[in-house]
């Protein structure tokens, strides 16, 4: 159990089905007809703030789909940090182990979303790069009482490894969303139960270009030589799951109208971790998360936070009629 404190100073026992160790960024989203080429200036239609970072997005999504979630992260002592913490709390994510860095600014990004809903982004990691092993060690009891630990590659590798070691010492499943892609060391590979990568990351890490579901399946199989289970997400094509000792599994994307793909991968990871932590089998969790991501990309930005598990189940039910 994580112990938080309410406004009256009373200790509250909060179950932590999912613990996310990772990044928090305040995203500035700019909408334009297209993304500019080098040296080009384009007019945009609008801009807005969006609390994000892969860690924060995944924590919020896991809570959105029913998990009790705690976050281990770091923000700066600035307005961005205040916004990020308020967003987590409003999403019912426990922030006891989100520390405030007095020297480094909060992480942030600028993303340009084009008319087709695709985007490109630049990230300034800031305080996320200073999230330390010591901060993770302080949260050992929190991790020990969880069911799933979720990691990404927007914080230092040594911090991720420390969290993964604690998780495995206590029999907790470890998900690594290897984004952005970086080499998977043997020490980390030995602690990861499930690796999740997109098509670009799969090619960078495994050398297989993902252009179809069959190549996604091949890429997942190659990477499963390093970890027990691998998911390769391939955008509008769907996904592939490779589990050692089991037949390969692929699932096509749900046919939806694409509105905005920003954060879709994080919605997938959050939904999957919530479902897996609830006791569902991995393939069931994958099936649920694929539908959740489809709803996410086909829902207007201002309404994404209202997507609920019953809507996901309805989409799955409709797909089987």
Matching residue, tokens 């060690």: 137
Judged by DSSP in three states, 125 sits in: coil
Q: Is 207 exposed, middle or buried (0-12, 13-18, 19+ CB in 10 A)?
A: exposed
Residues 78, 120, 65, 257: what is their CA dihedral angle, to the nearest 10 degrees? 140
Q: Name the active-site residue from 137, 266, 310, 318.
A: 266
Q: How is the chain split among helix, strand and coil, in percent rounded to 5? A: 40, 30, 35
Active-site annotation holds for 78: no
Q: Which residues fall within 8 angstroms of residue 303, CB to CB, at 6 or more apart?
A: none
Residue 292 is encoded by which pair of tokens? 């959740």
* 62 DSSP β-pair partners: none
Residue 75 is encoded by which pair of tokens? 């923000």
CA 35 to chain centre: 24
Return the active site residues.
266
């Amino acid at each position: 159990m994580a112990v938080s404190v309410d406004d009256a100073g009373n200790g509250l026992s909060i179950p932590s089905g999912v613990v996310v160790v990772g990044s928090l960024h305040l995203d500035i989203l700019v909408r334009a007809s297209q993304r500019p080429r080098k040296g080009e200036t384009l007019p945009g239609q609008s801009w807005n703030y969006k609390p994000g970072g892969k860690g924060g997005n995944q924590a919020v999504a896991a809570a959105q789909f029913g998990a009790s979630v705690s976050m281990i992260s770091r923000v700066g002592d600035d307005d961005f940090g205040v916004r990020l913490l308020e967003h987590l709390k409003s999403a019912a994510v426990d922030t006891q182990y989100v520390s405030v860095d007095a020297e480094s600014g909060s992480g942030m990004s600028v993303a340009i979303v084009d008319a087709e809903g695709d985007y490109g982004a630049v990230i300034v990691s800031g305080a996320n790069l200073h999230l330390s092993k010591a901060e993770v060690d302080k949260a050992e009891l929190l991790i020990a009482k969880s069911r799933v630990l979720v990691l990404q590659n927007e914080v230092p590798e040594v911090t991720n490894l420390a969290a993964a070691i604690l998780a495995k010492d206590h029999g907790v499943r470890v998900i690594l969303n290897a984004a952005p892609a970086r080499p998977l060391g043997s020490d980390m590979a030995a602690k990861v139960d499930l690796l999740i990568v997109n098509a670009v990351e799969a090619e960078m890490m495994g050398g297989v270009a993902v252009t179809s579901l069959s190549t996604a399946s091949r890429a997942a199989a190659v990477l499963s030589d390093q970890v027990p289970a691998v998911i390769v997400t391939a955008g509008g094509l769907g996904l592939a799951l490779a589990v050692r000792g089991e037949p390969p599994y692929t699932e096509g994307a749900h046919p939806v109208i694409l509105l905005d793909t920003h954060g879709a991968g994080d919605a997938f990871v959050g939904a999957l971790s919530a479902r897996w932590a609830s006791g569902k089998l991995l393939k069931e969790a994958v099936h649920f998360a694929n539908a959740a991501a489809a709803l996410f990309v086909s829902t207007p930005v201002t309404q994404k936070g209202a997507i609920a598990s019953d809507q996901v189940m309805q989409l799955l039910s409709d797909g089987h009629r």
